[in-house]
Amino acid sequence: MAVVYEFMWRMLHALLHLQRTILSWFRISIWNWNWRLWRRAVATVLVPAVFGFQNHTHNNKKLVPGGGKKSCGRVRWKSDGKSLEKLPLHVGLLIAEEEPRYTDIANLVVWCMAVGISYVSVYDNQGIFRRNNSRLMDEILKQQQELLGLDSLKYSVEFLNNSNDKPEQQVLSCQATVKVLSPDDGKPGIVKAAQKFCQLVEQQQQRSADLDVNMLDSLLRGTKGMPDPDLVMKFGTVDSTLGFLPWHIRLTEIISLPSHINITYEDFFSALKCYAGCEQRLGK
């Protein structure tokens, strides 16, 4: 009987020990599970906040200098135009390259406006800009707002329709006039002017003896003419004006640049400084 009691006592002792072991295991498991949930909750709340703050700070650092550079550029463009000894009234942009880039051309036009140039003509011998006139105008207006910012309200543009030289689009009061040219405005234009004079003679409104330089000049300019280009910037390696207004550039200064693609303001202003430093004898 004593042996049975001893056996029962040992069994109860073993079960009690097993119960304590199982309870301890459950406590440790539950504590670990709760700790993992807590860590996940903390990570969910704190990590995005920390990284979001860092990104916000980083974005602020990137945005501030960009606006400052553009603002400094606008101030510089104004002062650069005033610093030149002479500034061309009319600049021609002659693109002698196969693949013109509208954004780069628009930048050149806007820079001309910013330094104080009143007339800008854009020419290519393939007539690409003439056929895509509206696209070029849209790009110029886009770059005007991009480069000049709020100052773009001070710089208005008048685009001339080449068929009758009437404003095709006007933004506020006209301060800069832009005209797109093609080979049709060169030698064919002289032929049309001669035909028009012959018609006037036939209608007895003019005499053949009235034809002189001034008469032909007035016929070529039409109802709303632009002054002759003071400066032509030729872009490309071709050593030719490619039919660019042969009558109007007899006294024009021509400066060649390698390419208009990715041209910088420094390249543009260097050409203006070269023009300002040249001595024009005007045939003397």
pLDDT 10s digits, 195-243: 888 888 888 888 888 887 778 777 776 544 678 899 999 999 998 988 8
- Does the structure show a pLDDT above 70 at 65? no
Q: What does the mean pLDDT of the chain come to?
A: 75
15 Rama sector, left if φ>0, alpha if ψ -120 to 50, beta otherwise = alpha
C-alpha gyration radius of the chain: 38
Mean pLDDT, residues 3-24 taken together:
65
Distance CA 66, CA 68 (A): 5
Choice between 18 and 163, residue whose per-residue pLDDT is larger: 18
**Percent of the chain predicted with pLDDT > 70:** 63
- Does the structure show a pLDDT above 60 at 169? no
The predicted pLDDT at position 147 comes to 85
Task: Give residue 53's pLDDT band: very low, low, confident or very high (50, 70, 90).
Answer: very low
Choice between 4 and 31, residue whose per-residue pLDDT is larger: 4
Mean pLDDT, residues 272-279 taken together:
91
Distance CA 183, CA 176 (A): 23
Choice between 214 and 96, residue whose per-residue pLDDT is larger: 96
- Does the structure show a pLDDT above 80 at 102? yes
- Which pairing describes strands 176-181 and 231-235: parallel, antiparallel, or unpaired? unpaired
Q: Out of 74-83, 103-112, 184-193, give the one with best mean pLDDT.
A: 103-112
pTM over 0.75: no
Q: Are 168 and 134 in contact (CB under 8 A)?
A: no
Mean pLDDT, residues 116-141 taken together:
92
Mean pLDDT, residues 180-189 taken together:
79
The predicted pLDDT at position 271 comes to 96
The predicted pLDDT at position 57 comes to 39
